[in-house]
Amino acid sequence: MEHVNAAYESIVGSPLQYERKTYLDGLQEAKRSVTKQEKALTVTHTMPFNKYKVFFGFLKSYVTIYIFGHAPHEFPAWNALQMLVLYPVTVYRWARLKWLVFLTEFCWVSNLFLAGYCITLHIRPALVPPEHRTTMTHFFFAVAAGPLQAAVVLLGNALVPHSPDHMMSLLIHLQPAMTAYCLRWLDVDRELFPIDASVDFQTYALPPVIFLLIWAILHATFFIVWGLDLGDKGYATTFHYNLGGGKGNNIFTKVLGKLGDGSDRVRFIRYECFSIVCNALTLCATYVLFRSSMRIHFCVLGFVGTMSSYNGASWYAYRFTKFSKELDRLIADAKKDE
């Protein structure tokens, strides 16, 4: 009988061999699942996940908090310096991904303007006449504490230190809001950033609203003439992204209709008008915050910062639990095959 078994195994193989092969296949499948989730942690399409991204992301966050608390007079320069260094990196990465049209949005344009203004004040202050600096400080506050700060909550910006894209979103939304807090309430150079605490509403709100309207005219012209066709050429735009989310079934499409259903130019104009009205109202609403108290403003800023931290924690929790969920799926599939 042993000779028969030996002959059989020589032809079809040992049962233990099949067990080892099945076990190895399971390990390889598990590894593929884990690798898939590791790629999800990468976040960015052009930079792999590694310890250096995590290290520099956390280091930048620590330095930002330190300067905000210990040297608020340097925070405007710190915010502008980050834009000066990281903006070209973003342009390089997004050019490869065909995301450059995102840089035409109000958040990016206003950030470049504010960063350029801060850099000018620190390098060549004579270029900005002293009589205009109060207006510019109010302008900075309205834009940063208004649309930019609101975007942190509305867009779900998350504190994900190892992700360049997530950190850039916070850089252009949350950090200008922190800068506005410093300019309004903390010890900054008042020769560079003077304020008029008793400024009337019209004087305060008119410059940022005019800036918004100028941007809107240029932005709408660009999209109506060229931008709406870029989506078909593989370029990502905020308009196409918002209306294409949820497979085309979202709050934007419920109000404006789906892309391709009628005139997209008319749809874009309605979308743009809605955006302008929301931004204008948010800009004007900051006058109340400007005339309020340091404590109230700190509570608002603290809430916004807390939301970004919560969103970041949710991001990590979701992706880390995906590891065990993938293994649970493999185990469930294996049980079905038994």
| Domain contains 109 | yes
pLDDT beyond 70 at 183: yes
Number of domains in the chain: 1
Whether pLDDT at 162 is above 90 = no
How high is the pLDDT of residue 203?
A: 97
Average pLDDT over residues 113-121: 96
pTM for this model (two decimals)? 0.85
Name the strand (E) or helix (H) holding 204.
helix 201-225
Share of the chain above pLDDT 90, in %: 64
In a domain, 12, yes or no: no
Q: In this structure, is residue 6 part of a structural domain?
A: no
In a domain? residue 2: no
In contact, 78 and 67? CB cutoff 8 Å: yes
Q: What is the mean pLDDT of the segment spanning 82-106?
A: 93
Residue type, 111: N
**Per-residue pLDDT for 13 more than 90?**
no
**Domain presence at residue 303:** yes
The residue ranking higher by pLDDT, 282 or 40, is 282
Q: Is the pLDDT of residue 4 over 50?
A: no
Task: Assess if residue 222 is contained within a domain.
Answer: yes
Q: How many CA atoms lie within 13 A of 116 on its CB side?
A: 8
pLDDT of residue 102: 96
Confidence of residue 164 (pLDDT cuts 50, 70, 90): confident
| Distances from the Cα of 88 to the Cα of 112, 128, 129, 181, 235, angstroms | 11, 25, 29, 27, 19
Higher pLDDT pick, 152 / 334: 152
- Whole domain around residue 42: which residue ranges? 30-337
Is residue 43 very low, low, confident or very high in pLDDT (cuts 50, 70, 90)?
Answer: low
Q: Tell whether 11 is covered by a domain.
A: no
Give the pLDDT score at 211: 98
Count of other CB atoms within 10 angstroms of residue 157: 23
Q: Give Cβ neighbours of residue 152 (< 8 Å, ≥ 6 apart).
A: 170, 173, 174, 177, 304, 307, 308
pLDDT at 53: 82
Interval 249-293: pLDDT, tens: 888 888 888 888 888 999 999 999 999 999 999 999 999 999 999
- Give the Cα separation of 142 and 114 in Å (integer): 11
Element spanning 284, H or E: helix 264-290
Q: Is the pLDDT of residue 113 over 50?
A: yes
Contact between 111 and 148 (Cβ < 8 Å): yes
Q: What is the pLDDT of residue 332?
A: 76
Query: What pLDDT shows up at residue 261?
Result: 87
Residue 146 exposed, middle or buried by CB count within 10 Å (0-12, 13-18, 19+): buried
Residue 188 lies in a domain: yes
% of the chain residues with pLDDT over 70: 85
Residue 145: pLDDT band by 50, 70, 90 thresholds? very high
- Mean pLDDT over all residues of the chain? 87
